[in-house]
Amino acid sequence: MTRPVETPLPENFLDQAEGSWTLPSFWYTDLEIFAREKEKIFYKNWWYVGAASQVSKPGEFLTATVIDQDIFVIRGGDQILRAFYNVCRHRAHQLVHGRGCNRMLVCPYHGWTYDIEGRLKGGRNLEGMKNFDRRDFGLVAVRVETLAGLVFVNLDTDAVPLADISRSMIKDMRAHCPGLDDLVLARQHELETAANWKTLVDNDLESYHSATAHPSLMGQLDYSTFEVWEDQWTTCHAMSSANPEDPAYPVDTNDPVKRAIYTWLWPNTAFFIAPGGNNLGVFQMIPTGPESSIQRWDFYFENEQPSEREQAYLDWTIDTLIPEDTALYENVQRGLRSRGYSQGRFVIAGDRPEWSEHHVHQFQKLVRDALLADS
């Protein structure tokens, strides 16, 4: 696309939140920017895959796609969880699809066979091949870690361990939800969205829009109790329930979760814990193009079958909250193409963190630094 004339950037644009301009609008529409994000952001950071309980037995596997790289995680016979690129080392056919359980992995193209630890075990007419050692043709490994029962992968062999960058975030999540590590996947929801992935993250890292765009949410949560904190790679918002009788956020004095907490992990994964029983919502903002994304929502509860009030929370989230935000995402994305807009300004309110956009600034600075590194 032809880039519009841009507002000149400050010399150190985005270095300080106070007085800072936002990222230029073409960073949300440009194909070259998106290609650079794949290499500089998504191939180098932790990507949510699913629940560890889905791959708890030897041979159980779960597939995922990191932008355009197919991978799968699988539990080995030694109980170790591994991840591999989902491609046969012979002629590049995909090995497995979806979710399942296999004792051996057989390529559907030519029948090359791998064990569940990724070693090549055999194939027709391999014996006697010159200069061929099957030990050189095992599956290519991908880094994998678990966090509070969730599985993440990283294509970068030199990346900082997930446990290191999420330490303070997961401590806060466990403090707010004492049963966090024992939850099970109960519901999944996906939605194609006509917006750049950063548009989704920008929106979800501030509550400045809530009073205007989320009237029902304003009645459920007490924004006077709003607290925020952050470190380099994560942010956290927390507040108390305003209406314990509200069906979407019902709270009893005996409930283990007293406050709502929203945390975000760089670059594209957020976690919601609602007041009430032990629960977790995972929101992954998956890029599919410069101006398109998939919203992936995974909901975890104490049981696979949601209770009546958990179902009410799901209904409100899926039928009310997500559509409200989706309308915002897609409207803003259209505006980012307008000839009347190129950059905006952050509202920074140190004494009113609930109305401040400093976490959006933090995110956009991480994006800026990642894309301009070594350029």
Provide the pLDDT for residue 55: 97
Provide the pLDDT for residue 216: 72
List of residues 6+ apart from 95 with CB closer than 8 A: 72, 86, 87, 88, 105, 107, 108, 114, 139
Helix (H) or strand (E) holding 187: strand 184-193
Provide the pLDDT for residue 100: 97
- Which one, of 207, 367, 190, 369, lies nearest residue 293 by Cα? 190
* Segment 246-260 mean pLDDT: 74
- Which one, of 130, 29, 15, lies nearest residue 341 by Cα? 29
Q: pLDDT averaged over the chain?
A: 90
Provide the pLDDT for residue 136: 93
User: Does the pLDDT value for residue 33 go beyond 70?
Assistant: yes
The per-residue pLDDT for range 273-323, each reduced to its tens digit, is: 988 889 999 999 999 999 999 999 999 999 999 999 899 999 999 999 999
Distance CA 277, CA 255 (A): 6
Distance CA 143, CA 161 (A): 9
Distance CA 194, CA 333 (A): 7
List of residues 6+ apart from 213 with CB closer than 8 A: 324, 325, 328
DSSP string, 9-53: PPTTTTSSSTT-B---GGGGT-HHHHHHHIIIIITSS-EEEEEGG
The per-residue pLDDT for range 110-148, each reduced to its tens digit, is: 999 999 999 999 999 888 889 988 899 999 999 999 999
Distance CA 173, CA 263 (A): 8
- Which one, of 75, 88, 69, 54, lies nearest residue 144 by Cα? 75
Sorting pLDDT into bands at 50, 70 and 90, what band is 54?
very high
Residue with tokens 């949510």: 48
Q: Which residues of 167-179 are buried (b: 16+ CB within 10 A; e: fewer)?
A: ebbbebbeebbeb
Provide the pLDDT for residue 5: 40
367 three-state secondary structure: helix
Distance CA 155, CA 43 (A): 5
Distance CA 224, CA 240 (A): 9
Q: Comparing 352 with 108, which gets the higher pLDDT?
A: 108
Sorting pLDDT into bands at 50, 70 and 90, what band is 225?
confident
Q: How far is CA 362 from the centre of its chain?
A: 17
Provide the pLDDT for residue 334: 98
Phi and psi (nearest 5°) for 302? -70, -25
Strand residues in 266-344 grouped as ranges (E): 269-273, 280-289, 292-301
Q: State pTM to two decimals.
A: 0.92
CA R_g for the chain: 22
Q: Specify the pairing of strand 280-289 against strand 292-301.
A: antiparallel
Tokens linked to 26? 């073409």
* Segment 11-31 mean pLDDT: 82
Burial class (CB in 10 A: 0-12, 13-18, 19+), 102: middle
How many other CB atoms are found less than 10 A from the CB of residue 269? 23
Provide the pLDDT for residue 8: 38
Sorting pLDDT into bands at 50, 70 and 90, what band is 250?
low
Taken in order of first residue, the domains within the chain and their CATH numbers are 47-154 (2.102.10.10), 164-372 (3.90.380.10)
